[in-house]
Amino acid sequence: MSETTETLVGRAIDLKELIAYQEGSVVSRTLNDKNVGTITLFAFGEGQGLSEHTAPYDAFVEIVDGEADITIDGTDHRVTAGQFIIMPANHPHALRAVTRFKMLLVMIRA
């Protein structure tokens, strides 16, 4: 976990190993932050989540461990490890951990 963003470049890395769960918490780690977008890894404790909100950019979410309920425009989606979902810009969405889960969030600025 002591690796910096610079040491991640040019290597094959297991995403699950880059962030640890903390019971009752949501933990995040920015892997890349550029003008065109960001890549952030999250670890959600069981039952944790993000309340409904909107973002001005499309968001690609890949579940890398566990499972989550992701709501977009009032429609619930169960997303599990190995699956992804795209949350469109300016549409309300929320996330909740069914089990503890880790996700990769890629925000694409247009």
Domain CATH code at residue 47: 2.60.120.10
> What is the domain count for the chain?
1
> Can you give the residue range of the structural domain that contains 88?
5-108
Comparing 91 with 13, the larger pLDDT belongs to 91
Instruction: Look at residues 64, 58, 96, 97 and name the one whose alpha carbon lies nearest to residue 82.
Output: 64
Torsion of CA 78, 37, 27, 84, to 10 degrees: 20
**Mean of the per-residue pLDDT values for the chain?**
93
What average pLDDT score do residues 82-90 get?
97
Return the pLDDT at 1. 45
